[in-house]
Structure formats: C-alpha cells, structure tokens
Amino acid sequence: MDERIEIRLSGSGGQGLILAGIILAEAAILDGKNAVQTQSYGPEARGGASRSEVIISNESIDYPKVSKSDILLALTEEAMLKYKNGLKENGLLILDSSIEKPDGPYKILSVPILKTAQEKVGKSIVANIVALGTLISATKIVSKEAIEKAVLDRVPKGTEELNKKALYEGYKLVS
Amino acid sequence: MDERIEIRLSGSGGQGLILAGIILAEAAILDGKNAVQTQSYGPEARGGASRSEVIISNESIDYPKVSKSDILLALTEEAMLKYKNGLKENGLLILDSSIEKPDGPYKILSVPILKTAQEKVGKSIVANIVALGTLISATKIVSKEAIEKAVLDRVPKGTEELNKKALYEGYKLVS
C-alpha cells in the first residue's frame, strides 16, 4: 500500500467502533506507517448512528479529515444509510449481512459479523473485533501480526482469548 | 464560550489520555456543542510521549486539526518538552507538579495530579480522570454535570465510584 487510505467505521453507539478505530490505527503504527484516528461529534452524533475514522498512510498526514472514504464498514442499516454517500465511487462497503444491500457504485462485501460474534464467539460485544478481522482479511491494510498485537494490547485484561477468537472468526468470513 | 477551543492532552502511553479525550469530547456534546477528538500517530508516536487532541466549538468544525492549542495538559516532562511549542502564546499549560516549570509565554497551572490519584484516590490509573477534573475546574470548557455523566458512561463497570472521586479530587485542586 503506497497511498493514503481512509476508513470509516459506523454502527450504533455501544458497538465499540471507537475502540476498533484506535486498534486499527495502532496496528498501522506497528507496521511502520502513519495513522490518524478521529471521532467527530456534531448535531448528527445525537442520532443513533456513530462513526470512527482512520487514515493510514506511508507519508505524513497533513490533512486529517476524512471526506470520501475508501472503505465504509456499517454494522447497522441506519449507519449505512447515513454514511454511504460519503464512500468513494468504487469504494468498498463492508456490510453486516442483516442489512439490505443498497444500490450504488460500490463494491459490496456482505458478511454475518453480528451473528458470528454472537453465535461463533459467544459474545455480541466482540462484533467490533470480528469486524476488524473481516476488514483486514478483505483489504490487507495492516498485517495480521500487527492487528493481533494491537487487539491484545487494548482489550480488557482477561478477555484476550475471546478477542483473539473474534479476530480469527472475522478473518475467516473472507477467504 | 463562543469560539473554538483546542485542547491537547499529553503524557506517556498507558496514562489513559485517549480515553480522557473521548470523555471530554462526549461531555461537550452533552452540553450541546460540537467536538472532534483525534489521535495522530507518526514517527514521533514511537517515542515515549503520547497525545490526544480535542476541539470544542459552538460552530461546526470544518478543519479538525489542532496546530497551536489553547490548552496543553502535560503529565510527564517528556510530553511537556515535546508539545509546549505547540501551545499558543498566553495559552494555558496544566502541568503535573512533579515537572519543572518551563520558561515561556504561558499561563502555568502546576498541580499534583499524579500524587492526588495515587494518594487521595488510591489508584494511579485514574490520573487521567483527576486531570480532567482539574482541567474543567480551571477552564469551565464543559459543565460539571456533563463531565460527570460522560465519565460515568465510559469508565469500566464497577469503577464508577472510584472515577467519580477522581474527578472530584481533580476539581478540588483548583479553587
């Protein structure tokens, strides 16, 4: 990856997308890249959809704002509807499979992130980490080693194995 | 507060400054303002000093990058030395009292944040919340009600009383 990649992670509050953004940015640093991770809260943040944004680049990042993202992850329909117009043409839309696919100039990857968290890992709260596994398996924007270390560095003590499994199950959703 | 206020929180990795930034931004939202919260990681992030940045404004925030901050919190000397030149002239420098005061065109508030966390609250890990209490008591950038709710919404379950005490002890360091 030589260029600047902009990623928007969206869903509802409480789905852990801020943490997912921090982990993704820290994984990029472990890979020797630069990263900026942002939460913007405006009047729209008072609705139900929340987002976290990450920019990863080999160069220094002078302009830290994501306008049109290369990648959009959406875990809820409300978030998808709110942010899909901020996805670049031919950008990658990673959707939880509970959400109906929209029409539009996107590459769509529809995967059962929420169901995998709940049924395969056994905790719906790790959907954010399943989503990271899927996103990285599909895009290779950071290395597998880096994301694993970044996840283990950030999750609460005692939940390491659970989150490792979540990451691995997310990875397996794309092959 | 009518204008845009830029705050940089700095210290060493592990002092919880990312979480402090998120809580501060969420408190601003509870007060009906706009906020952006950012972590930037570049080559400099690989050193020992880490930072988290928050912009709070009544207006929408089109340019989300902090260049010269209005307020700098520094919990370590390394962080103070690294970021003091990014503080505006006559900006407010909130320093842990273990750090020697620098010369420069700053308003300096030197307070025993780390010692208060360790001795009065009994857990050095809550220094980030003590620091938020001090910062808000000194600047009133968000309301007391909003910061208390934002802290309680974000800290791990079972630590609410500890963090409330940390916030209160931080408040009391400025009067």
Give the pLDDT of residue B1.
47
- Write the CA distances from B175 to B108, B134, B168, integer angstroms: 15, 10, 12
What gap in Å lies between CA B51 and CA B45, rounded to an integer?
A: 8
The pLDDT of residue A46 is above 90 = no
A8 contacts A136 by C-beta, under 8 angstroms: no
User: HSE on the CB side for B68, CA within 13 Å?
Assistant: 8
Token code pair at residue B35: 């906020």
Q: Which residue of B has its CA nearest to A45?
A: B29
- The phi, psi pair for B12, rounded to 5°, reads -100, 160
The burial class, CB within 10 Å (0-12 / 13-18 / 19+), for B25 is: buried
The pLDDT of residue A43 is above 80 = no
pLDDT band at A145 (very low <50, low <70, confident <90, very high): very high
Residues of B in contact with A28 (CB under 8 A): 41
Name the residue facing B65 among A34, A42, A64 (closest C-beta).
Answer: A64
What gap in Å lies between CA B154 and CA B21, rounded to an integer?
A: 11
A99 contacts A30 by C-beta, under 8 angstroms: no
Residues of B in contact with A45 (CB under 8 A): 29
Q: Which residue of A has its CA nearest to B37?
A: A39
- Return the residue matching tokens 């959707």: A95
Does the beta-carbon distance from A25 to B42 stay under 8 Å? no
A38 contacts A64 by C-beta, under 8 angstroms: yes
Give the pLDDT of residue A47.
61
Instruction: Indicate the pairing of strand B49-57 with strand B5-12.
Output: antiparallel
The kind and range of the H/E element at B109 are strand B107-111
Chains A, B: CB contacts within 8 A come to 62
pLDDT band at A45 (very low <50, low <70, confident <90, very high): low
Q: Does A22 touch chain B (CB under 8 A)?
A: yes
CATH number of the domain encompassing residue B11 = 3.40.920.10
- The phi, psi pair for A134, rounded to 5°, reads -65, -45
Give the pLDDT of residue A100.
97
Give the pLDDT of residue A1.
47
Instruction: Tell which of B36, B149, B155, B157 to mutate to test the A interface (max A CBs under 10 Å).
Output: B36
Give the pLDDT of residue B119.
96
pLDDT, tens only, A101-132:
999 999 999 999 999 999 999 999 999 999 99
pLDDT band at A3 (very low <50, low <70, confident <90, very high): confident
Q: Does A74 touch chain B (CB under 8 A)?
A: no
Name the residue facing A34 among B28, B35, B42 (closest C-beta).
Answer: B42
Q: Taking every pair of C-alpha atoms in chain A, what is the biggest distance, in angstroms?
A: 43
- Return the residue matching tokens 């694993």: A148
Token code pair at residue B45: 């992030």
pLDDT per residue of chain B (175 residues) written in tens, 0 to 9? 458 999 999 998 889 999 999 999 999 999 999 999 998 876 656 667 788 999 999 988 877 788 899 999 999 999 999 999 999 999 999 999 999 999 999 999 999 999 999 999 999 999 999 999 999 999 999 999 999 999 999 998 899 999 999 999 999 999 7
Q: How far apart are the first and last CA of chain A?
A: 20
> CA B130, B133, B134 angle in degrees (round to 5)?
90
Q: What is the CA radius of gyration of chain B?
A: 15
Token code pair at residue B22: 């998120």
What gap in Å lies between CA A29 and CA B79, rounded to an integer?
A: 19
What gap in Å lies between CA B101 and CA B147, rounded to an integer?
A: 28
Closest CA to A159 of B105, B156, B95: B156
The burial class, CB within 10 Å (0-12 / 13-18 / 19+), for B120 is: middle
Q: What range does the domain containing A39 cover?
A: 5-172
Indicate the DSSP class of residue B100: P
Residues of A in contact with B41 (CB under 8 A): 25-26, 28-29, 34-37
Enter the ipTM: 0.80
Domains held by chain B: number:
1
The burial class, CB within 10 Å (0-12 / 13-18 / 19+), for B94 is: buried
The string of DSSP codes covering A149-172 is HHHHHHSPTT-HHHHHHHHHHHHH
Name B144's bridge partners: none
Which spans in A31-159 are helix H?
A: 77-83, 113-115, 127-139, 144-154
